[in-house]
Amino acid sequence: MGEQEAHDALSRAAQIALTLRVVCGLSTARIAAAFLAPETTVTRRLTRA
């Protein structure tokens, strides 16, 4: 499975969280604030991604 296929297999929320982390360099706390979600939820999304 290529990178694009792996990315496409993720939920939309996980794709966005991963992109914000890798491309934009945002912290988990900043991403959580953007999603209005608990930091633990975003941590799980990033770990799964």
Residue 5 resides in a domain: no
Q: Which tokens is 34 given? A: 């953007």
pLDDT of residue 1: 64
Residue 4 resides in a domain: no
Residue 29 resides in a domain: yes
pLDDT digits (tens, 9 = 90+) for 1-35: 676 666 678 888 889 999 999 999 999 999 999 99
Instruction: Provide the domain count of the chain.
Output: 1
Residue 6 resides in a domain: no
Residue 42 resides in a domain: yes
The pTM of the whole model exceeds 0.85: no
**Domain that residue 20 falls in:** 12-48
10 Å Cβ neighbour count for 17? 27
Q: How confident is the model at residue 48 (pLDDT cuts 50, 70, 90)?
A: confident
pLDDT of residue 27: 96
Residue 18 resides in a domain: yes
Measured between alpha carbons, how far is 38 from 19 in angstroms, rounded to an integer? 18
